[in-house]
Chain A
Amino acid sequence: MDVRAQISMVFHLDKCIGCHTCSLACKNVWTSREGAEYMWWNNVETKPGTGYPTLWEDQTKYRGGWEVKGNILRPKLGRRLGLLSNIFFNPFLPTMDDYYEPWTYKYGQLFNAPQADDQPTARAVSKVTGKFLDVEAGPNWDDDMSGSSIYARNDINLSALTDAEREALFRTEQMVFFYVPRICNHCLNPGCVAVCPSGAIYKRAEDGVVVVSQEKCRGWRFCVSGCPYKKTYYNWKTGKSEKCMLCYPRIETGQPSSCFHACVGRIRYKGLLLYDAERIESVAKTPDAGLVEAQRSLILDPNDERVVAAARKNGIGDDWISVARKSPVYKFVKEWGIALPLHAEFRTLPMLFYVPPVLPVLASNTNGSYDLGNRDFFGKVEDSRVPMKYMAHLFSAGNEEIVKKALKKLMAVRAYQQAKSVGNLSVGQASAQLAEAGCSTDEAEAIFRMTALPRFEDRFVLPPYHREEAIETTTETIKQKGETGLGFTRPPKRGP
């Protein structure tokens, strides 16, 4: 057993209102620089939709993640020879149009335009070329199903559905959408690290945060293709790749990352997990249907004495182990089993888990009135407007049972709370639903508290990094203060 620690995350999609505050918090802190304007280390997508960059989930185009060929786990982008043969001409990159051309407006025109019969307008100008631009797309262009006749219909997760099911999704009474906020997953088996020709990307030993060394990066951009989530970005100004680094300067000083801190819906949880690094390869090779279960089994119980002993042997301190015991992520993923990885079939073992959203039930339009038929308003999981196949494609590598189980538990917790505080259900009905979902009343209570009433310190349980002690051996701490963050110790020649 090779026990290591990993900072990991849970996003509770039931609570996401799609306000993009997380995106803006991140943009303001990290990517409002020249060369980084188009990057959204955090972005919020509307599903069904094609996301940002367009069709990022379609690995036939971008070749991200891993595949099992024979009994060998290899990057979809190819192994050494494959990479080398494309090294000067990587053919699997998103274009600027697939992201979007960043723009601003010529606001000055509103004040300085010469007097004329027309109202002056602020025309859009590209932030890359500085020329006037017809804005055709943006990072959340299909937000709230705008343009969904194009973008939602081309969501590749719909490929699991029959034509009739797909058509049904786009009828007005059955129209449905939800939000998926995305950041770097800080995977256990990261595709970007595996394909980097310069060896510039690495996973930090202490907490598993995946970062790009700005000194080693040579801008080959294979990480951009290699990451199936398209969460590494190429900075055209510095000629280096950049990505979400989980605001490590913040977490090292005991603060949650910017997007976590800013989240209005308080959907984000952050905690420590212990996992068995020895089994990463065998887990990543598991066939699709068993992937989510296998990934869960990789996460170790921090209360198990053997795990604790092995963790101590690997130099994980008791303070970190005790933080791992209080981890909200451990509860969501292992204890309750309601948080699932996004697109586990990419086999990177993402360490960001999503609690799938409970969505409205099916209805039909009879004689101009909204008709639920004989379905409950809060209904059954099977009656959900979004077919389970679609959810399974997103969150459980096609295994419907896993998503269904998670959603049933969430529904049962709702029923339990309704019985307690609204009274539209009897306690008996609620208990039956809980029993069906395999959930005790204590567990239901705990899930409810963690979902609806968590305090700041319940949501973010961060390990003590002792950063001040770690750096004072080599650096003057007062001098170091205010110097943390992105930047170069030796500026690149093309640099900013």
Chain B
Amino acid sequence: MGWLFVIRTSLKDMKKVTFHLKGAVEKDKITYLIFTSVILLAASIMFSGIFAGAATPSEDGKEIFKQKCQACHTIGGGRGIGPDLKEVTAIRDSAWLISFITAPDKLIAQGDPIAKELVQQYGLPMPNLGVSENDAKAILAYLDAQSTARAIAPPQSATEAPSVSTTALPASAATGRDLYTGAIALTNGGPACISCHNIRGVGIIGGGTVGKDLTDAYANLDEEAIHAILRATPFPMMKEIFSAKPLTTEEIANLSAFLEETSNAPSPSSQTPWTFIGIGVAGAIVIIGIFQLLWRGRLSGVRRSLVKGGSR
């Protein structure tokens, strides 16, 4: 049964995650030193790059956008997980944009009205992706450039993404299902999706509830966004788990096919919480029945039967 394997792998991964966190605390000072130096180095390289004109901010921004933003956002491609960013530079104040891109969690926590509204509208907060202020400026430059260009040109990702990604590969929904449930292990050793995500029609008791239910993922997003998410795994927990064990292109294609199939399948009425509760109640009755049978002699007093027997 796949779910046993799933529990095993997910536990293993959880352990690793906690270990990693512990390590970070212990090595606090060294990490701090290394990080500061790396950041300073990176910043100096970037600055020198900018000032030397080796690459324009807009070109830098394109790369960064691909890496960090594309999983959820489009430019003129319509709403993904997050909002379409076309002309966002015109709508929002650039200082606000920079502070939001660099630290959305902070802004949300502060109760910024715009941030709050966005969270409400899209149903999930934007994760902190660790974008530096300079990167944010580069992204904004790219967005600026794209917003004007897009007005004429067809959406870039629509032409670019397929060539990069996977539609060419033969994708099998059945393999995708096996990958999802863990019947086939992921090549790079990542945990199966079912550990954290539920989806309709998988397993008796469904999948985990840590992540979102993926039944309607394909319907809500589109194939491209799903591919991008699976490639970049931008969400905090997924990032932690999959950054070291990325999904392969075939796996992404297969999983995407599986999500598509599930999303398109007609929803069966049996998949309600009552199935689970029913199984639970029946199981409890069976177990109690076994206990009653095994220990039926328990707590049968001896005195009453003596008295009932009377004098012999």
A interface residues, Cβ below 8 angstroms from B: 50, 54-55, 58, 61, 86, 89-91, 93-95, 97-98, 136-137, 149-151, 153-154
Residues in B neighbouring A55, C-beta threshold 8 A: 302-303, 306
Residues in B neighbouring A58, C-beta threshold 8 A: 302
State which residues 72-129 of B face A: CB under 8 Å.
none
Q: Which 5 A-B pairs have the closest CB atoms?
A: A149-B311, A91-B298, A95-B301, A54-B303, A97-B301
Contact of A153 with B311 in the complex, beta carbons under 8 Å: yes
Say whether, besides A149-B311, A153-B311, A153-B312, A91 and B304 are in contact (CB < 8 Å): no
Q: Does B291 have its Cβ within 8 Å of any Cβ on chain A?
A: yes
How many B residues face the partner with a CB closer than 8 A? 17
Q: Type the 1/0 row for B280-311, where 1 means its CB is closer than 8 Å to any CB of A.
A: 00000000000100110111111110110111
Residues in B neighbouring A93, C-beta threshold 8 A: 298-299
The answer for the CA separation of A137 and B306 in the assembled complex, in Å, is: 12
Shortest CB–CB separation between residue A165 and chain B, in angstroms?
Answer: 15
Q: Type the 1/0 row for B200-241, where 1 means its CB is closer than 8 Å to any CB of A.
A: 000000000000000000000000000000000000000000
The answer for the CA separation of A74 and B230 in the assembled complex, in Å, is: 60
Residues in A neighbouring B291, C-beta threshold 8 A: 89
Residues in A neighbouring B299, C-beta threshold 8 A: 91, 93, 95
Residues in B neighbouring A149, C-beta threshold 8 A: 310-311
Shortest CB–CB separation between residue A288 and chain B, in angstroms?
Answer: 24
Give 27 pairs: A residue, B residue, CB < 8 Å, sorted on A.
A54-B302, A54-B303, A54-B306, A55-B306, A58-B302, A61-B302, A89-B294, A89-B295, A89-B298, A91-B295, A91-B297, A91-B298, A91-B299, A93-B298, A94-B301, A94-B302, A95-B300, A95-B301, A97-B301, A98-B301, A98-B303, A137-B303, A150-B307, A150-B309, A150-B311, A153-B311, A153-B312
Residues in A neighbouring B301, C-beta threshold 8 A: 54, 94-95, 97-98
The answer for the CA separation of A412 and B299 in the assembled complex, in Å, is: 48
Q: What residue in chain A is nearest B296 (Cβ atoms)?
A: A91
Contact of A50 among B304, B306, B311 (CB under 8 A): B306
The answer for the CA separation of A86 and B310 in the assembled complex, in Å, is: 33
Contact of B306 among A86, A90, A91, A151 (CB under 8 A): A151
Q: What residue in chain A is nearest B298 (Cβ atoms)?
A: A91
Q: Which of B291, B302, B307, B310 has the most CB of A within 10 A?
A: B302
The answer for the CA separation of A94 and B303 in the assembled complex, in Å, is: 10
Residues in B neighbouring A89, C-beta threshold 8 A: 291, 294-295, 298
The answer for the CA separation of A150 and B304 in the assembled complex, in Å, is: 11
Contact of A150 among B295, B298, B310 (CB under 8 A): B310
Shortest CB–CB separation between residue A145 and chain B, in angstroms?
Answer: 13
Residues in B neighbouring A50, C-beta threshold 8 A: 303, 306
The answer for the CA separation of A58 and B298 in the assembled complex, in Å, is: 16
Residues in B neighbouring A94, C-beta threshold 8 A: 301-302
Shortest CB–CB separation between residue B299 and chain A, in angstroms?
Answer: 5
Say whether, besides A89-B298, A91-B295, A97 and B304 are in contact (CB < 8 Å): yes
Known: A97-B303, A98-B303, A150-B311. 20 other contacts (CB 8 A): A50-B303, A50-B306, A54-B302, A55-B306, A61-B302, A86-B295, A89-B291, A89-B294, A89-B298, A90-B298, A94-B301, A94-B302, A95-B299, A97-B301, A98-B301, A150-B306, A150-B309, A151-B306, A153-B312, A154-B306
The answer for the CA separation of A153 and B310 in the assembled complex, in Å, is: 10
